[in-house]
């Protein structure tokens, strides 16, 4: 019953807000997110700690300003997700700028591409837009516990020719999909448990990052792109991307597999963190990115969250 109730609520939300002007939806959900920052202290404290780590040179006023803007962008993410099914290729070509789409198409026409992306801006729109540009891909995503909700949400994500790969046991399917000539997108920017992680520099501090992307790249020798989407005003978006050439690394037998994983993961992390720096209000600062620590480092960077210190409500 709980799964059915959740499914009905989500469908009702989409039905109601899908009829409203987009700017109203952005305002409404953005307001809800600001309220959440205030009434769920852990969200605000975590975001403040993360921003302090990533931008140590910035003061509290700047961090609170970013949190206020972040609430708006989280509202935009939800509003954009609600309207995905109504967007067509004409809208995407007018509203979503993808400077590297021609180059990406040339590479993807020859073989499957691995795309490293994350939770920056309207990331659901990013995959949708690439599909509507005529280059459908597969994306690794976590399934919902409710079968009804999962089937419906997956159908929404796959409506434009894309396909979802279940995050559980995704590696083999990623390799198979790349081998079949279809590109695969991976959201790689969240914390993972140490047994699945390689620790790379993330805004100057070691962060547990999935090994799966680099392992799939080495296994398939696939071309790699790093991509992120940002809002540019007036209902327009821009997809930034970087093409990474790892061909020499793939073939270099003098470099160990472990070191190859580290180098690939660090490279994509460097490119993606730069994209976040250019659009800081768009990232998931409320996620505990530095939760898993390297061996020998026992103190949590989020001790203040548990202790109830440094509450930050972006008024």
In a domain, 180, yes or no: yes
> What does the alpha-carbon distance between residue 262 and residue 266 come to, in Å, rounded to a whole number?
6
The pLDDT of 66-86, averaged and rounded, is: 96
Total count of domains within the chain: 1
What is the rounded average pLDDT of the residues 144-153?
Answer: 84
Tell me the pLDDT tens digit for each residue of 195-208: 889 999 999 999 99
**pLDDT beyond 50 at 310:** no
pTM given for the model: 0.92
Identify the domain containing residue 206 by its residue range: 90-301
pLDDT tens, position by position, 207-266: 999 999 999 999 999 999 999 999 999 999 999 999 999 999 999 999 999 999 999 999
Contacts of 148 (CB under 8 A, 6+ apart): 3, 4, 7
The answer to whether residue 293 scores a pLDDT higher than 80 is yes
Confidence of residue 311 (pLDDT cuts 50, 70, 90): very low
Residue 8 included in any domain: no
Long-range contact set of residues 297-302: C-beta below 8 Å, sequence gap at least 24? 297/206, 301/49, 301/53, 301/205, 302/46, 302/49
Cβ contact 157:124 at 8 Å:
yes
Among 88-97, 286-295, 298-307, name the one with the lowest average pLDDT.
298-307
Is 264 a member of any domain? yes
Structural domain includes residue 5: no
Residue 41 lies in a domain: no
Mean pLDDT, the chain, integer: 92
Q: Is residue 246 part of a domain?
A: yes
- Asked whether residue 280 is assigned to any structural domain, the reply reads yes
Look at residue 284 and tell me if it is in a domain. Answer: yes
pLDDT at 306 over 60: no
Between 154 and 31, the higher pLDDT residue: 31
Sheet holding 114-117, edge to edge: 96-97, 236-244, 224-233, 114-117, 184-187, 138-141, 163-166
């Amino acid at each position: 019953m709980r799964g059915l109730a959740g499914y009905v609520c989500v469908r009702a939300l989409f039905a109601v807000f899908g009829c409203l002007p987009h700017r109203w939806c952005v305002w409404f959900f953005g307001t809800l997110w600001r309220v959440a920052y205030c009434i769920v202290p852990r969200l605000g404290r975590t975001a403040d700690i993360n921003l302090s780590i990533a931008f140590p040179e910035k003061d509290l006023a700047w961090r609170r300003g970013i949190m206020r803007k972040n609430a708006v962008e989280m509202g935009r993410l939800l509003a954009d997700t609600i309207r995905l099914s109504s967007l067509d290729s004409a809208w995407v070509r007018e509203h979503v700028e993808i400077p590297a789409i021609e180059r990406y198409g040339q590479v993807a026409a020859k073989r499957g591409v691995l795309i490293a992306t994350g939770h920056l801006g309207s990331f659901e729109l990013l995959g949708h837009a690439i599909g509507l540009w005529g280059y459908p891909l597969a994306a690794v995503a976590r399934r919902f516990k409710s079968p009804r909700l999962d089937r419906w949400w997956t159908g929404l994500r796959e409506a434009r020719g894309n396909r979802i790969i279940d995050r559980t046991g995704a590696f083999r399917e990623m390799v198979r999909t790349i081998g079949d000539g279809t590109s695969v997108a991976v959201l790689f920017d969240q914390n993972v448990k140490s047994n699945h992680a390689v620790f790379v520099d993330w805004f100057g501090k070691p962060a547990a990052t999935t090994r799966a992307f680099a392992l799939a790249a080495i296994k398939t020798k696939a071309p790699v792109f790093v991509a992120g989407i940002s809002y540019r005003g007036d209902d327009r978006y821009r997809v930034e991307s970087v093409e990474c050439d790892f061909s020499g690394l793939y073939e270099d037998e003098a470099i160990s597999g472990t070191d190859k994983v580290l180098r690939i993961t660090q490279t994509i992390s460097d490119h993606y963190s730069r994209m976040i720096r250019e659009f800081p209000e768009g990232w998931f600062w409320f996620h505990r990115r530095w939760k898993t620590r390297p061996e020998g480092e026992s103190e949590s960077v989020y001790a203040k969250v548990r202790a109830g210190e440094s509450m930050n409500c972006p008024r």
